Structure 1
Amino acid sequence: MKAIFLDVDGVLTNSGYRNPETKNIDPEKIELINEIVKQTEAVIVLTSTWKDGYNKDTGEKDDYYKVLEHLMLEHGLQIYDITDKIPAQTRESMYVSISLNDLEFVHCVHGTGRGAEVDKWINDHHPDSYVILDDEDHGWKEYGYEDAWVQTSWYDPNGGLGKKDVKKAIVILNQNENQKNSANGINSETEDNRCR
């Protein structure tokens, strides 16, 4: 099995696209995900905070999650799984609100946050290869996943997933059939994980 770890904001959405009906998800970005799936037969694992819109235990779905699911189905795609929630713990004390510009100075305690969630899924499911589509660094290097990360951008006017990102993702998924599982490459002493 090959896996696409999918963030939504900054991958399927960007600062230059607005549409309340799609919750600002750009259908063209979903079609680009479809291109990756068609050429790799990878499954989609949702890592985004959008996963909070689906309760695995009850099956209940919030409106925004239903919109995401519907848009994916329109393009012949489905969400295979969502990563477990491992709440982020920061090393820094957070007594005041911070700006998006200050996020780069916030670090997760190793074993918490999105990096840990992806790491757990990989260790639980052992995919043959995987790619991480995300606009933010969640400590990917500290978990040994920097070569699997395709970084998109929320801020670019034509941001989100682009054609060059698709090409890179396809190469990663098709050439890295034997990617090591993180259990073989993790540096558990590292605490410098970005926390978002």
Structure 2
Amino acid sequence: MSNVIFLDVDGVLNSKFWDDEHQREISDGKYIDIDAVKLFSKLVKKTDARVILHSGWRFWFDDEMKPNRSEAEFFADVMEKEGVFISGVTPDLTTEEIRKAKKFSLVKADEILQWLKENPTDNWLVIDDLDLHNNEIASHQIKTDAEVGLTENDVEKALNLLLGNVG
């Protein structure tokens, strides 16, 4: 049985704090906090988890998970350098109205649950800075603070969720 981590990017692998300090990188299309990726990598390696992208960033990859935008290419390169690979993406259940309003949190839970229905696994968690409006998801979610992104404390909580109360 494999572990699965549903990964959001904005507010997890970057943050408002990081954005303020890295305007040059952002202007170069590099929206990823490398230190947050290193933290995330520790989690993936310790849990031997598959990573499923449920972020809007998933639209920046083709069906074979090849980046089709420079931002996604940088993201994929940084992840790969840390030994982390995206195994897949959640289905897209957005509507035109949701996309225009940028209210993706309204369908993210349903997208994750649909992925799980098609790929059953007992051990999974969601890392996202948004409230996904679903109790089942909430019980499996590490909710990051968009101001600071992924922290050591978040990784510890994630390890406990995926592996049980180990060490």
TM-score (norm 1): 0.72
CA distance in 2, matches of 1:66, 1:81: 15
TM-score when normalising by structure 2: 0.83
Structure 2: 5+ residue stretches without partners: none
Cα distance in 2 for partners of 1:175, 1:131 equals: 12
> What residue identity is the alignment partner of 1:8?
V
Structure with higher helix content: 2
**2:92 pairs with 61, 74, 85, which one?**
85
| Alpha-carbon distance in structure 2 between the residues aligned to 1:171 and 1:57 | 32
> Which position in structure 1 is the counterpart of 2:126?
132
Tell whether the 8 Å contact from 1:88 to 1:114 is kept in structure 2 after alignment: no
Flag the 1:107–1:165 CA change in 2: closer, same or farther, 3 A. closer
User: C-alpha displacement at 1:22, in angstroms?
Assistant: 6.1
Q: Distance in 2 between matches of 1:169 and 1:16?
A: 22
Aligned to 2:137: 145
For residues 1-196 of structure 1, what are the structure 2 equivalents within 5 Å? 1-17=2-18, 18=22, 19-20=25-26, 21=28, 23-56=30-63, 61-88=68-95, 108=106, 113-141=107-135, 144-155=136-147, 159-175=148-164
CA, structure 1 residues 60+76, in 2 after alignment: closer, same or farther (shift >3 Å)?
A: closer
Give the 3 Å change call, closer, same or farther, for CA 58–154 of structure 1 in structure 2.
closer
Q: Count residues in correspondence.
A: 157
| Sequence identity percentage | 25
Kindly name which structure, 1 or 2, has the bigger radius of gyration based on alpha carbons: 1
How far the C-alpha of 1:24 sits from its partner, in A, is 2.4
Mark the CA change 1:122 to 1:163 in structure 2 (over 3 Å): closer, same or farther: same
SS of the residue corresponding to residue 44 of structure 1 reads strand
For residues 86-116 of structure 1, what are the alpha-carbon distances to aligned partners after superposition, in whole Å with 9 as ceiling and x for unaligned? 115879xxxxx98x9xx7xx984xxxx1111
CA contact (8 A) 2:31 2:71 kept: no
In structure 1, runs of 5+ residues without a counterpart are 92-96, 177-196
Instruction: Name the aligned partner's letter for residue 9 of structure 2.
Output: V
